[in-house]
Structure 1
Amino acid sequence: MARRRGVIAQLQRAHAQQVRAAEQAQRAYYRQQQALRRAAEQAAKAAQRASAHDERERKRLYLEARAAEVAADNADLQARLEELDGLLSATLAIDDHIDLERLKEPFRFPPFDPGPHGVPEPPPDWRRFEPAAPTGLGKMFGQSKYQQQLAAAQSQFQLAQSQHAAREADRQRRVAGMYAQYEQARQAKQAELAAQHAEIDRWAAGLRAGSPEDVVEYFGLVLSNSVYPDDFPQNFRIAYVPESRQIVVEYELPALGVVPAVLDHRYVKTRDEVTSKARTAKEIKERYTSVVTQVTLRTLHELFEADRGGLVETVAYNGVVDTTDPRTGQSIRPCLVTVRATREQFEALNLGKVDPAACLQYLSATVSKRPEELAPVRPVLEFDMVDKRFVDEVDVLADLDERPNLLRLTPTEFESLIQNLFTKMGLDTKQTRPSRDGGVDCVAFDERPIFGGKVVIQAKRYRNTVDVSAVRDLFGTVQNEGASKGILVTTSGYGPASYEFASGKPLELLDGSNLLHLLAEHAGIKARIDPNDLD
C-alpha cells in the first residue's frame, strides 16, 4: 500500500510538472502572440504614419508647385511691364548709326583639302620582292635557282612599279579635278563678294549724294535693326524729300493688347484654383499712352542718331495702328500720334530724363486723347501725299521724264495750275494775282460749315529751299485778311526754321512732293519738278 501511494505521488508530481510545463508553454505562446500582435499593431501604425506623411508631403509639393506657377506668372507680368516702361531707355545706350563698310562680308574660304587623295601612295619597296641570297652550299650549287628567282622578282617589282605609277597618275588627275572645282568655287565666292562690296559702295555713294532711294533704304535698315518685344509689329513706311531734307515715317504701333489686362495672379488653396485681378481701365490707358509716346520718341531718336551725313533736318512722324473697326468690321489705320521735329529741337533733349508725354507736348506733337479707343488725330503730313518718287514701296514711273516740268511753266501757266488745283480740291477761288517772285497768291473760301472759312494760298515756284521769311509773310497775310488758314505751296522744300515757325499756327506747308501728289490726286495732272531740265 505504501508503495502504491509512492507511485501515485510520483505520478501526481509528474502530472503536476506536465501541467506546469503546459501552463508555461501556454503562457509563452500567449506572450509570443501578444508580442506579434503588438508588432503588427506598431507596424500598422507606422504604415499609417508613413502614409499620412507621404500624403502631407505630396500635398506640400503640390501646393508649392501651384504657388511657384503663380509666382512665375506674376514675374512674367512684372517683366513685361518693365519691358514696356523701358522702350525708350533701351535704345539710348545703342549707337543706331550703321557703318556700311561693316556690312561688307569678309572673304572666308577653307584651304584646299583633297582628303585621302592628297596623300601619295608609297612606291613599291624592292626589299619586299628581292629573294633571299643563297647561303652555305647554296652559294656553290644554288646559283642557277637563285638567278631564276631574282629574275622573277625583278619582273614582279617592275609590274608593281608600273601599276603604282598608273595609280599615282590617276590620283593626281583626281586631285587636279578637285582643285579645279575648288578654285572655281573660290573664284565664284570672290566674285559674289566683289559684287556685294560694289553694291555697298554704290549705296554709300548714293547715300552721300542724298539719293532718295538710297536714303530710304538706309533708314529702313536703321529702323529694322531696332529690337522691340516680339509681339510689336515693327512695320513702317519711309519717304525722303531731298528738297527739305525731310524724312516722312508712317510707323505701325502695337495695339492695346500689348498692355497686360491682368494685374496679378493669386492661388486660393481652399478652392485649389488660380484667380486673376484685372488691371484698371485707367492704368491700361496710361500704360498704352506711354507705349505710344515712347515708340514715337524712340523712332525719332534712332533716325536722327543714325544720320552722320547731315541728310535729315526734319522728321515727320505718324504713328498708326493697323486694326479692325469693331463697328463696321472694316480695316482701319487710325493715326494716334503725329509730330514734326527738327534736328536742332531734338538734339537739345536729354531723353534719359524726359517724361515722354511732356516731351512730345514740348515738340508740339498731337497725341490721341483716347488712344485705347483708337480716336484718331490729323497727321502733320499725310504719308500718301509724298511724291511717289520718294516712297520706298513704289518704283520710279517709266514716263516720268515725259511729264511736264513745273519749273518750266510761265508765271501765268503756274497761276492757272494752282487755281485749277485748289478749285478741284473744293475751294472757291475768288481772287488771284501774280506775285513778284514768280509765284501766285490766292484768296479762296472753304464753304464747308464750321471747318470752312477764308483761306490764303501762296505758291512759290522755287528751285531752292523756301526761306522762313516767306512763312512769316504768309502768317502776316492770314492775320491781315482775317483768314482762318494759310497754305504755302512750293516746288522746292522748307528748312527746319519754317516748320518751327509754322508749328501751332493755322499754317500748312506743302513742299514739291506734296504739290505733285495733289496735282495727280485732284487735278489729274502728272507733273514733275526737275531743276536739271531747264535748258
Structure 2
Amino acid sequence: MQHQNRLREQRERQQARAHAQATARAVRLSEKARRDWERACASADRAANQASAAAVKERARLHVEAQLAEVEARDATLAEKYGAIDGILAATLDVDDYVDLNALRQKIEHPAFDRPDLTTPTTPPLPLPLPPEPVYVEPAAPEGLGSLLGGRKRHVAAVEQAQAMYWQQRHEWEQAVAQRNYAQEANERAHGAAEANRLRALSVAQSEYEAECAERRKQVMQANVQLERLIVGLQEGEPNALEEYVSIVLGNSVYPECFEVQYDFSFHGQDRELELTVSVPLPSDLPTEKSFKYTKASDTITSTPLPLKARKDRYATAVAEVAVRTAHEIFEADRDGVVNTLSMTVGVDTADPATGHPTRITLVELATDRTAFERLNLSGVQAAATLEHLSAGVSKNPHDLVPVGNTRGVRG
C-alpha cells in the first residue's frame, strides 16, 4: 500500500507539473498574442496617421492648384474683355457690313408629316384555329362464329354506343366552333373599331398639318412681300425703308458683352441725312481690375486695380471707336449711296447728380459726309485722331462724364 501511495503521489506531482507547465505556456502564448495585437494596432494607427497626413497634404496641394487655376482663368477672362474693348473698331474692318436683302428671301419648307402611329394600319387579327371535327367510326361487324353466338347483339350495342359518343362529340364541337366564331367576330369588330379610330385621328392630324403648312406659307409670303417692299423702298430712297435697313445693319453689329451699344436713328430723305443717337455703357460698367493673385497664407484671391489713367484712356478710346465704327458700318452697308451725310451723337444715359432725374450726357458729336469719310484708311488710324480730323466734338474727359464742350461736330 505504501508503494501504491508513493506511485499515486508521484503521478499527481507529475500531473500537477504538467498542468502548471501547460498553464504557463498558455499564459505566455496569450501574452504574446496580446503584444502582437497591440503592435499591429500601433502599426495600423501609425499607417492611418501617415495616410491621413498624406491625404491632408494632397488636399492642400490640390486646393492651391485650384486657386491658382482660378486666378489664371480670371486673368484670361479679364484679358479677353480688355482685348474685345480695345478692338471695337478693328473687329468690324474685316467684315463686309453690306446686307444682301435678296439673300433674306425665305423659302417654304414644310417638315414631313411624321405620324407613323397613325399612317400605319393596325394589324388585322389572325384567324383563330378551328377545333378538329369529330369523325364517326362504326365498330366492325362480327364475322364467322362470332356473328352466331350473340355477336350481333353486341355489335348493335357497340354501334349505338359509338353513335351516341359521336353525337356528343359533335355537339361539343359545334359549341366550340360557335365560340370560336364569336371570338373571331369580336376580334374583327375590335380591329374595325381601332382602324376607324386611327383613320379619324389621321384625318384630324392631317388637317392640323395642312393648316400649319398653310400658316407657314402665309408667313413666308408675307415676309417676302415685306422684303420686296423694303428692297423697292431702298431703291426709291424711302426714309422708312432706309431706317429698316439700317436697323438690320446695326443689329448685325456685335459688340463685347461688357460693352453693349444701343442705337436710335431717323433718316431725313430730303437731305439724305441719317441722324443717330448712340448709347454706350457707363464707365462704371467696365472692369476695373488689372490682374488677380492668390495669397496662400490667407487662402484668398484678390485683384490688383487698374490704374485710373489706364481706365480713362481705355474708355475714351472705346467711345471714339464706337463713333468711327458706326459711321463706317453705315456707309459701307449703304452701297447704293442713299445716305449722303451722317449726324451722330454718342453718349450715356445716367442720373443727374444734382437733381437725381434721368439725363443724357453727350460725349461725342460728329457730322460727316460720305465722301470725306470714305477717304479714310481705317486700318491704320487712331479713333480719337480720326474724330479730330473730322472736326468732331469730343469730351475732354469721357470717363468722368464731362460733356462735349462745343457743338462744332454736329449740325444744329
Quote how far apart the aligned CAs of 1:50 are: 2.5
Moved more, 314-323 or 26-35: 26-35
Contact 1:207 1:215 in 2 (8 A): yes
* Partner residue in 2 for 1:326: 353
8 Å Cα contact 1:318-1:379 kept in structure 2: no
CA distance in 1 between partners of 2:38 and 2:92 (Å):
78
> How does 1:25-64 map onto structure 2 within 5 Å?
39-64=40-65
1:29, distance to aligned residue in structure 2 (A): 7.8
CA RMSD of aligned residues (A): 4.4
Change (3 A) 1:72 1:116: closer
Structure 1 residues 231 and 168 mapped into 2: Cα distance closer, same or farther (>3 Å)? Answer: same
Counterpart of 1:336 (choices 350, 363, 371) is 363
User: Structure 2: how far apart are the matches of 1:187 and 1:108?
Assistant: 11
Q: Deviations over 1:487-516 (max 9, x none)?
A: xxxxxxxxxxxxxxxxxxxxxx66xxxxxx
Paired amino acid for 2:87:
G
Q: 1:33 to 1:206 in 2, by over 3 A?
A: same
1:231–1:258 Cα contact (<8 Å) kept = yes
Q: Partners of 1:162 and 1:63 in 2: how far apart?
A: 75
Q: Scaled by the length of structure 1, what TM-score is found?
A: 0.58
Counterpart in the other structure of 1:106 = 107
Match in the other structure for 2:6 = none
Q: Secondary structure at the match of 1:334?
A: strand
Residue 308 of structure 1 corresponds to: 335
Q: Deviations over 1:195-228 (max 9, x none)?
A: 2211111111111111111111110221122111
Following TM superposition, by how much is the alpha carbon of 1:18 offset from its aligned partner in structure 2, in angstroms? Answer: 11
Deviations 1:132-189 (A, max 9, x none): 7887879xx99xx99x99x989x98999989988876776565445434433332232
Contact 1:259/1:287, CA 8 A, preserved across alignment: no
Are 2:396 and 2:402, in contact at CA under 8 Å, matched by a contact in 1?
A: yes
> C-alpha offsets along residues 294-326 of structure 1, whole Å, 9 cap, x if unaligned?
111211111112112211222222101111233
For 1:18 and 1:132, the matched residues in 2 are separated by 92
How many Å separate the matches in 2 of 1:131 and 1:30?
87
Contact 1:317-1:339 at 8 Å conserved across structures:
yes
Partner of 1:79: 80
Q: Which segments of 5 or more consecutive residues in structure 2 lack a partner in the other structure?
A: 1-9, 139-162
Question: Is contact 1:336-1:374 (8 Å) kept?
Answer: yes
Residue 189 of structure 1: aligned partner:
216
- 8 Å CA contact 1:336–1:376 kept in 2: the answer is yes
Relative to 1, partners in 2 of residues 1:41 and 1:299: Cα closer, same or farther, differing over 3 Å? same
- Secondary structure at the aligned position of 1:265 is classed as strand
**Matches of 2:294 and 2:324 in 1, distance apart?**
40
Alignment equivalent of 2:237, drawn from 210, 227, 250: 210
Alignment length, in residue pairs? Answer: 367
1:504-519 equivalences in 2 (<5 Å): none
| Post-superposition offset of 1:278 | 1.7
User: Take 1:336 and 1:174, find their aligned partners in 2: how far apart are those partners?
Assistant: 65
In the TM superposition, what are the counterparts of 1:443-458 in structure 2 within 5 Å? none
1:368 Cα offset (Å) = 1.0
Using CA pairs below 8 Å that are at least 6 residues apart, which structure has the higher relative contact order?
Answer: 2
Letter in 1 for 2:92: T
Secondary structure (helix, strand or coil) at the match of 1:322 reads strand
Pair 169,283 (structure 1): closer, same or farther in 2 beyond 3 Å: closer
Which AA in structure 1 matches 2:250?
L
Describe the SS at the equivalent of 1:321: strand
Select between 50-59 and 298-307 the one with higher mean Cα deviation.
Answer: 50-59
Over residues 377-418 of structure 1, what are the superposed CA-to-partner deviations in whole Å (9 max), with x where a residue is unaligned? 144577xxxxxxxxxxxxxxxxxxxxxxxxxxxxxxxxxxxx
Determine the structure 1 residue equivalent to 2:7.
none
**Structure 1 residues 52 and 329: alpha-carbon distance in aligned structure 2, compared to 1, 3 A threshold:** same
**Is 1:97–1:305's contact at 8 Å kept on the other side of the alignment?**
yes
Give, in whole Å, the separation in 2 of the partners of 1:32 and 1:171. Answer: 82
**What amino acid does structure 2 have at the position aligned with 1:101?**
N
Aligned runs of 1:487-498 on 2, under 5 Å?
A: none
Larger radius of gyration: 2
Give the whole-Å Cα distance in 2 for the aligned partners of 1:281 and 1:213.
Answer: 44
What is the distance in 2 between the residues matched to 1:310 and 1:27?
111
Q: 1:380 to 1:315 in 2, by over 3 A?
A: farther
Confirm or deny: 8 A CA contact 1:322 1:334 kept in the other structure: yes
Q: In structure 2, which of residues 252, 259, 263 is the aligned counterpart of residue 232 of structure 1?
A: 259
Conserved? CA contact 1:338–1:366, under 8 Å? yes
Cα distance change on mapping 1:44 and 1:152 into 2, 3 Å: closer
Equivalences for residues 110-121 of structure 1 within 5 A? 110-113=111-114, 115-120=116-121
In structure 1, give the amino acid aligned to 2:216. K
For residues 221 and 249 of structure 2, the distance between their equivalents in structure 1, rounded to whole angstroms, comes to: 24
